[in-house]
């Protein structure tokens, strides 16, 4: 699959991969800042997200091949790759399957491990929402509130909703729900380790990257370094944009 891409700037290429329920636009401010520093910054919409096509299959090998095919089509290989959450797993798989394509790898607040189910209820509530003509943002927010308690998370999810005469979800909810087990998982058997420069960037208020994950990370990414942002949770680039940008600018020099 060839994915939708947005590109800014000129210079060494840095590719950004968003997380579950996200889209390339989530990196808008980050993309502008990094591009202004002398980089070509390319943000992709992963399959079933943003403006990219919808299709069955949400395993990380499939997503990695989408990214590889798209970057090859755009003539951007090799390049630096940064992925957040689900996008971080896709970035790790890309580096493991196509190490020659990834000049350096940054993984933002995720580890190569299986996580417990927790987000399928969000996707199901979104899919089951009544999308009648005249639906308002406030009404949609109220419909999600019993399942998604945090107002910020609801706003993030609702960024995928298109209102108007025919309200619809831009995101492929059926495909995501069907693939949720693969999204939360990480395949045990994979190819040789990725030996290139690798940075794992975590939020101090997040529990996604834990000390007990270090052996799994080291086995696959022996050159991995670790940085923790003290003032951030899982949404690093939103919680501490200046700290996030400082680390990424050092990670991907011009």
Q: Which residues are catalytic?
A: 85, 174, 234
Nearest to 23 by CA among 5, 38, 41, 10: 5
Task: Locate all alpha helices (DSSP H) within 54-118, ordered by sequence.
Answer: 60-73, 86-97
Q: How many CB atoms are located within 10 Å of the residue 233 CB?
A: 17
Distance (Å, whole) CA 181 – CA 177: 8
3-state secondary structure at position 32: helix
Is residue 47 a contact partner of residue 58, using CB atoms and an 8 Å limit? yes
| The two structure tokens encoding residue 200 | 């794992």
Q: What is the 3-state secondary structure of 230-243?
A: CCCCCCHHHHCHHH
Distances (CA, A) of 181 to 52, 118, 120, 177, 186: 21, 11, 9, 8, 10
Q: What is the spatial distance between Cα 237 and Cα 217, in angstroms, rounded to a whole number?
A: 22
CA-based max dimension of the chain:
54
Backbone torsions φ then ψ of 103, nearest 5 degrees: -70, -35
Q: Which residue has the tokens 């003509």?
A: 133
How many CB atoms neighbour CB 116 within 10 A? 5
């Amino acid at each position: 699959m060839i994915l939708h891409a947005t590109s800014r700037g000129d210079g060494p290429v840095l590719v950004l991969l968003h997380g579950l329920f996200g889209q390339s636009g989530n990196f808008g401010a980050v993309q502008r800042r990094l591009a202004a520093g002398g980089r070509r910054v390319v943000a992709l919409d992963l399959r079933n997200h943003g403006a990219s096509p919808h299709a069955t299959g949400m395993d990380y090998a499939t997503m990695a091949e989408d990214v590889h095919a798209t970057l090859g089509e755009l003539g951007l290989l090799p390049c630096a790759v940064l992925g957040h959450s689900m996008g971080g797993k896709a970035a790790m798989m890309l580096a493991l399957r196509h190490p020659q394509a990834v000049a350096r790898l940054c993984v933002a607040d995720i580890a190569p491990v299986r996580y417990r189910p927790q987000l399928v209820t969000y996707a199901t509530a979104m899919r089951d929402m009544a999308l009648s003509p005249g639906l308002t943002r406030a009404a949609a927010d109220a419909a999600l509130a019993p399942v998604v308690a945090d107002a910020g998370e609801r706003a993030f999810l609702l960024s995928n909703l298109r209102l108007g005469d025919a309200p619809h979800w831009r995101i492929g909810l059926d495909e995501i729900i069907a693939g949720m087990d693969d999204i939360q998982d990480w395949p045990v058997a994979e190819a040789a380790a990725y030996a290139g420069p690798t940075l794992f960037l975590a939020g101090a208020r997040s529990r996604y990257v834990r000390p007990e994950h270090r052996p799994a990370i080291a086995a696959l990414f022996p050159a991995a370094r670790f940085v923790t942002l003290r003032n951030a949770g899982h949404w690093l680039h939103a919680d501490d944009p200046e700290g996030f940008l400082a680390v990424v600018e050092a990670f991907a020099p011009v």
